[in-house]
Amino acid sequence: MDEMTQLRELRADAPLPGRAALAPGRALLTDAITGRNRRARGLRADWRVASLGAVVAIAAAALFITQVVDTPAPRPSAPATVAGDLDLSSPATALGRAADYLDRQEVPPEPRPDQWIYLREVGGVPAQPTRKDGAEPEVKGTMEVPDPAPSWIPYDDKAAEGDESDTDYRTARESYRIAAGLPEDPEALLAELRKVFPTGSGPDGPPEAKDEHSFRALSVLLQSYPLPPDALARIYRAMATVDGVEVTDHLIRDASGRQVIAVTRQYDGQDIRREILIDPVDYGYAGQREVVTRTHDVSTPGGLDPTMVYKRGDLLIDGARTKAAVVDAKGQKP
């Protein structure tokens, strides 16, 4: 029996985590996690400090109703105690092993122009900021976050290919071919991706430094589906060379309850890190998170009091991809 078969037989289903309370102003973050343009966005940090006042009105209305939604059982992943062949001691080791596995996989044919990409993703409840003065929020209540309906994306979307309004957006076909054409050399690969996903344009903020730009560009491309396994191997090897990239030394739970690998990098000059989540069984993309790394104040828009506080360990983004597949028609499920 090979190692991967043994690993699949031993792994156990992970239970869904408990639901957290949704506080004023945080509903917008859930929308950002599961937004319609999930594949295209680089999940930049700029939108985090949203207009809390505007969102409070939305949250106040929503919190009158407690919405309980049945969610599908998460796809199981390997528990840390079982994943004996995982070595999370360094990015080079963990990502190198993932790349070696992917290099051994058969490369399936590119999807046909008439096919569709089926995606199902779930978002956890974002962390709520607390008032610095210790007062309770004016609006209280709980609301379950639904597992969003699946989405279908045309693989060959010629109309969208001409849309230059979002420099991070690429269609499924464009992303596949970008990935397939990436060079072997990690430095050359990262340079190519920085050209494909430029930095510092318009409302997206000032230009990023080289390594932060590289990590964001990698995270944008990894949200695409499908990517050829040999291309994914090259991407992982390049990711391990980005300065500041680390790997958590244990599996963490994603928004769906699975245990996954977290490849991380701190945002330059910020108290937040981005985490790219990877399945420890097939090494596919599993989602992304943004985690507060130091307790800090967040001023409300316009400097209005009271100042809010984010605590170390708070999740600002918590998104998991639970299913992805190529199907023959819109509405078809794999």
Please compute the mean of the pLDDT values over residues 127-156 and round it to a whole number: 66
Give the list of residues 6+ apart from residue 267 with CB closer than 8 angstroms, or none.
45, 212, 273, 274
Do 326 and 155 form a contact (C-beta atoms < 8 A)? yes
User: For 220-258, what is each residue's pLDDT tens digit?
Assistant: 999 999 999 999 999 999 999 999 999 999 999 999 999
Tokens representing 144 are 């379950």
pLDDT greater than 60 at residue 23: no
CA distance 148 to 182: 33
Place of tokens 């043994």: 6
Output the pLDDT for position 278: 98
Using pLDDT thresholds of 50, 70 and 90, give the confidence band for residue 300. low
Using pLDDT thresholds of 50, 70 and 90, give the confidence band for residue 83. very low
Of 321, 334, 267, the closest CA to residue 77 belongs to 321
Asked, for residue 333, whether it belongs to a domain, the answer is: no
Task: Find the range with the poorest average confidence among 23-37, 135-149, 190-204, 279-293.
Answer: 23-37
pLDDT greater than 80 at residue 61: no
Cα dihedral 167, 169, 172, 175 in deg (nearest 10): 30
Asked, for residue 332, whether it belongs to a domain, the answer is: no
Check residues 89 and 62 and name the one with the higher pLDDT.
89
Using pLDDT thresholds of 50, 70 and 90, give the confidence band for residue 66. very low
Place of tokens 């910020």: 270
Give the list of residues 6+ apart from residue 88 with CB closer than 8 angstroms, or none.
94, 247, 248, 249, 250, 251, 261
Do 284 and 254 form a contact (C-beta atoms < 8 A)? no
Share of the chain above pLDDT 70, in %: 66
Asked, for residue 99, whether it belongs to a domain, the answer is: yes
pLDDT greater than 70 at residue 77: no
Question: Mean pLDDT for the chain?
Answer: 76
Check residues 159 and 144 and name the one with the higher pLDDT.
159
Say how many domains are in the chain. Answer: 1
Task: Find the range with the poorest average confidence among 205-209, 261-265, 314-318, 325-329.
Answer: 205-209
Asked, for residue 334, whether it belongs to a domain, the answer is: no
Please compute the mean of the pLDDT values over residues 78-94 and round it to a whole number: 73
Query: Beta partners for 145?
Result: none
Q: Is 331 left (phi over 0), alpha (psi -120 to 50) or beta?
A: left
Tokens representing 300 are 């409300």
Output the pLDDT for position 133: 65
Most confidently predicted of 72-81, 203-212, 306-315, 318-327: 318-327
User: For 157-194, what is each residue's pLDDT tens digit?
Assistant: 988 887 777 888 999 999 999 999 999 999 999 999 99
Do 308 and 121 form a contact (C-beta atoms < 8 A)? no
Check residues 123 and 129 and name the one with the higher pLDDT.
123
- What is the domain extent for residue 114? 3-327
C-alpha angle 49-262-195 in degrees, rounded to nearest 5: 70
pTM of the model as a whole: 0.74
pLDDT greater than 50 at residue 43: no
CA distance 24 to 64: 13
Regarding beta strands 259-266 and 246-247, do their DSSP bridges make them parallel or antiparallel, or are they unpaired? antiparallel
Please compute the mean of the pLDDT values over residues 297-315 and round it to a whole number: 76
Check residues 309 and 59 and name the one with the higher pLDDT.
309
Check residues 175 and 13 and name the one with the higher pLDDT.
175
